[in-house]
Structures are given as C-alpha cells and as structure tokens.
Amino acid sequence: MLWKVTTLSIFPTKVDLLLSVLTIALVTGCATGSGGTPDNIPVQESVTPTATNDAPTPVPVEKYLLSDEEWHTLEKADHLLRKRCMQRFGFAYPITFKDSEPLGYSLTTYRYGILDPDYATQNGYRTPRALNARSVDQENRKRNAQLEELSHDAKLVLFGVQPEKNGRPVATGKNLRNYEKIPKGGCLNEALKSLYGDSSAGTDSPVAVDVNLKSFNQTLRDPSVLKAFAGWSSCMKRKGYVYATPMQASGDPRWAASPGSSDEKVTAKADVECKIQHNVAGVWNAADVSYQNRMIKRHSTELRAVETSIDRQVERARAILAKSDSE
C-alpha cells in the first residue's frame, strides 16, 4: 500500500528557504545575478552607512513576506481546519499543534552573519534555528510516523486519494462515514482552500523572494560593501585569521566537521569584533536597503497586491481561530 506523503504539504511550517539561500551565499561568497533582466540593477557607487552592530534596519521587502508570527497564525488555523474536517468523518487528526512562541526573527536578524560578540562566544556561528534543527527534525519524523499509523480510511479522508497497491486502487472500507462527501484533495486541501481561497497558496510570493535574494547578491558586488569586507579582513589578519570575507569565516569547513568547537567560538567572536570595528553590518545593510528600494519601485504594483493578500490571509486565519475560541 503506497501513500504519497510529502512533509511540506502535511506540515506547512515556514521553511527557511530564504535563510538557506542566503547562508549558501554567505558560505561560498558567490553572487548569482540574472544579467539582462529588468531587476539586474547596476552596482551601487556609494551608500550612506547605517551605524549598527546588532540590529540592522529591517529590509523593505519584509512587509511583502510572511513574518514568523504570521506563519504561526496561519499554521495554527490550518491545523484547526484539518482537525475539524477529520472529525466530520469520525476520525481524530493525530497531530498535536505545538503552540510555542515564534522565534520572532526579522529578516535581517542573521542576514549579515552573527553580530553579537557574547552570542558568538557561546554559540559560534550557529543561529538559534541551527541549534534547534535536530529537535525540529525529530518532531517532523514523529509527525510523519503518526500519519503512517492512521487507518486506511482515515488516510483516505486526510489525503483525498485512494491508496494504491501494485498500481491498482485499494477498495475503501465499508464503514467510512459520508464517503461520497470526502472533499477533493481530502482534508488537507479543504483546509488550504478555506484558509487561502486557493490550495496553491500558503507560500511566500515569488516576486518578493526574488527581490530579497537578488538584492543580497547585489550587495556582494557593491564597492562600499567590498571596502568594508577589506577592512574586516585586515582586522581579522591582525588577530591571526586569514579570511577575505565574512562568508569565508562563517563557512569554514572546520565548523561543519566540528560544530560549536572552541576554535569556532573564538573565531566567531573575533569576526564580530571586526565587523563592529568596521561597521560591516551597517554598510552592508545600507546597500541592501538601497537595492531593494529600487527593485520594489520597479515591482510596486505586484508587491502591493502581495501585501493585500498577506493581510487577507492573516485576517482570515485570526477569524477562524477567534471563532474556535468562542465556541
């Protein structure tokens, strides 16, 4: 009996795609531009640095991307809708929603690497998400196991598809309540459509993601940022470390081989001290904001629609949860 279960469709928690892609850029130092496209903005000649060490100015595209808190609200409402749908057919939804407080990251919290020397001393280059990755993975494995333990009919209600064996549909049980009323795509799809109005929703806007990633890659070629990197590199060399850019330091293969080692923590602390001395995050953030503003202006009509859509999704989710609280 084969059930095609994808973790992302079952647990629509916020995937750290943006952070992952930015991390790749930080580790490799590669800038992947799309030459010739309308958003391929020329390298900036100068920027006005924003003096900051641990709290960079939020980048403008943040308002067009779902925040941690907004994702949490949507996930909670989605879970409730799945649970209600399963109950209509006489089944319990086996997943318990973990109603923990969102981490509350802004998009810029670790966008320019670790910026707090005390944090670096304790954790090296590992962000809170990285430190929590193992427990998140264990939780997802547990959830998938719970879904696999569902009965044949419960799976049919949840996924809305007939399981197959040897390429042929497996007959449904005779006692399934309201079999003919199972929604297309099952309770998963019903919840998505109720929450978003379109089962393809529930993800960040491609145009907003594009602005976010392109602006970051543009900063890696910006003269002011490269100058700040050079100052940082000289500072690190005086401390006994030879790295051309902060990406090389945070992406040193030694840290992957031995996460949280004393060498990693000492290096990360020196890294942060040099970033502060040369205002790397301030210069970097100022260039980032400048590029994003230009891109957002170019895509203003699309992004205004994105902002409206986010507001509607979150408002709908809050209404669903409020109704549940009053019942």
- pLDDT confidence of residue 48: 55
Residue 164: strand, helix, or coil: strand
pLDDT at 274: 96
**Contact in structure between 156 and 163 (CB atoms under 8 Å):** yes
Residue 146 has pLDDT above 50, yes or no: yes
Looking at residue 15, what is its pLDDT?
37
Alpha helices in the chain (DSSP H): 7-10, 17-28, 68-88, 117-123, 128-131, 133-148, 152-159, 186-196, 206-219, 223-238, 246-250, 253-257, 262-277, 280-298, 300-326
Measured from the Cβ of residue 114, the count of other Cβ atoms closer than 10 Å reads 22
Task: Tell me which amino acid residue 312 is.
Answer: R
- pLDDT score of 140: 86
Q: Cα–Cα distances in Å, from 30 out to 10, 41, 88, 247, 321? A: 33, 17, 52, 9, 43
- Please, what's the b/e burial string for 166-198 (b: 16 or more CB within 10 A of its CB; e: otherwise)? eeeeeeeeeebeeeeebbebbbbbbbbbbbbee
Rounded-to-integer distance, Cα 47 and Cα 56, Å: 15
CA distance 96 to 78: 12
d(CA 240, CA 45) in angstroms, rounded, equals 32
Residue with tokens 């005390």: 118
Would the pLDDT of 141 be above 70? yes
Confidence of residue 131 (pLDDT cuts 50, 70, 90): confident
* pLDDT value of position 2: 31
Q: For 215-269, write each residue's pLDDT tens digit.
A: 999 999 999 999 999 999 999 999 999 999 999 999 999 999 988 999 999 999 9
Query: What pLDDT, in 10s, does the model give residues 37-71?
Result: 444 444 444 555 554 555 577 899 999 999 888 98
Mean pLDDT score of the chain: 80
Q: What is the mean pLDDT of residues 122-136?
A: 88
C-alpha 184: how far from its chain's center? 29
d(CA 113, CA 26): 8
For 260, residues 6+ apart whose C-beta sits below 8 A from its C-beta are 123, 124, 126
Average pLDDT for 203-211:
92
pLDDT tens digit string along 268-315? Answer: 999 999 999 999 999 999 899 999 999 999 999 999 999 999 999 999
pTM attached to this predicted model: 0.78
Per-residue pLDDT for 7 more than 60? Answer: no
The pLDDT tens digits for 65-96 are 998 889 889 999 999 999 999 998 899 999 98
Grade residue 29 by pLDDT with cuts at 50, 70 and 90: very low
pLDDT digits (tens, 9 = 90+) for 92-123: 999 988 877 666 677 888 999 999 999 999 99
pLDDT at 49 (0 to 100): 54
- pLDDT value at residue 113: 93
What Cα–Cα distance (Å) separates residue 174 from each residue in 140, 153, 170, 246? 32, 9, 12, 63
In angstroms, the CA 204 to CA 313 distance is 12
Q: How far is CA 15 from CA 11, 60, 72, 301, 308, in A?
A: 10, 21, 12, 26, 22
pLDDT class of 3 with cuts at 50, 70, 90: very low
Among 6-15, 81-90, 165-174, where is mean pLDDT lowest? 6-15
